[in-house]
Amino acid sequence: MTAIRIMTYSVGECRGADGRVEPERIVTVVKETTPDVLAVQDLATTTLPDQLDYLARRLGMRAYSAPQAPGCAWLAYAPLKGVQGYDLGQGGCLLRADLDIDGKRLHLLNLRLTAERSARQRQIATLVGPDLLGDRSLTCATLLLGDFADTFWGAGNLALNLHLKKAVRSFWRGTYPAFLPLIDRDRAYYRGHLQILDSRIPRNAAARQACRHLPLIVTVEVTDPRTFLRTEKLKRSRMEVAPG
What's the confidence (pLDDT) of residue 156?
Answer: 74
- How many separate domains does the chain show? 1
Tell me the β-bridge partners of 14.
none
- How high does pLDDT run on average in the chain? 90
Q: Which residues pair with 109 in a beta bridge?
A: 96, 144
241 belongs to a structural domain: no
Average pLDDT over residues 11-32: 97
- Say how far apart CA 108 and CA 143 lie, in whole Å: 5
Confirm whether 244 is domain-assigned. Answer: no
The pLDDT score that the predictor gives to residue 132 is 96
Residues 212, 18 contacting (CB under 8 angstroms): no
- CA–CA separation, 189 and 157 (whole Å): 11
Total-model pTM: 0.91
Report yes or no: 3 and 200 within 8 Å, Cβ to Cβ: no
pLDDT for residue 107: 97
> For residue 230, what pLDDT is reported?
56
Please give the average per-residue pLDDT across 30-56, as a whole number: 94
User: Which backbone phi and psi does 174 adopt, to 5 degrees?
Assistant: -70, 140
- State the first-to-last Cα distance of the chain, in angstroms, to the nearest integer: 48
Q: Is residue 91 part of a domain?
A: yes
Q: Residue 169: pLDDT band by 50, 70, 90 thresholds?
A: low
Instruction: Give the per-residue pLDDT at 1.
Output: 53
Does the residue 207 lie in any domain?
Answer: yes
Q: Inform me whether the pLDDT recorded for 94 exceeds 80.
A: yes
Query: What's 76's DSSP letter?
Result: E
- The pLDDT score that the predictor gives to residue 7 is 98
Instruction: Check which CATH number belongs to the domain holding 182 and give it.
Output: 3.60.10.10
Tell me, yes or no, whether 193 lies in a domain.
yes
> Is residue 239 included in any domain, yes or no?
no
pLDDT of residue 120: 94
Residues 59, 116: Cα–Cα separation, whole Å? 34
Q: State which residues form the domain around 98.
A: 3-233
Does residue 242 lie in a domain region?
no
CB-based contact 113:149 (threshold 8 Å)? yes
User: Of residues 159 and 63, which shows the higher confidence score?
Assistant: 63
Has residue 172 been placed in a domain? yes
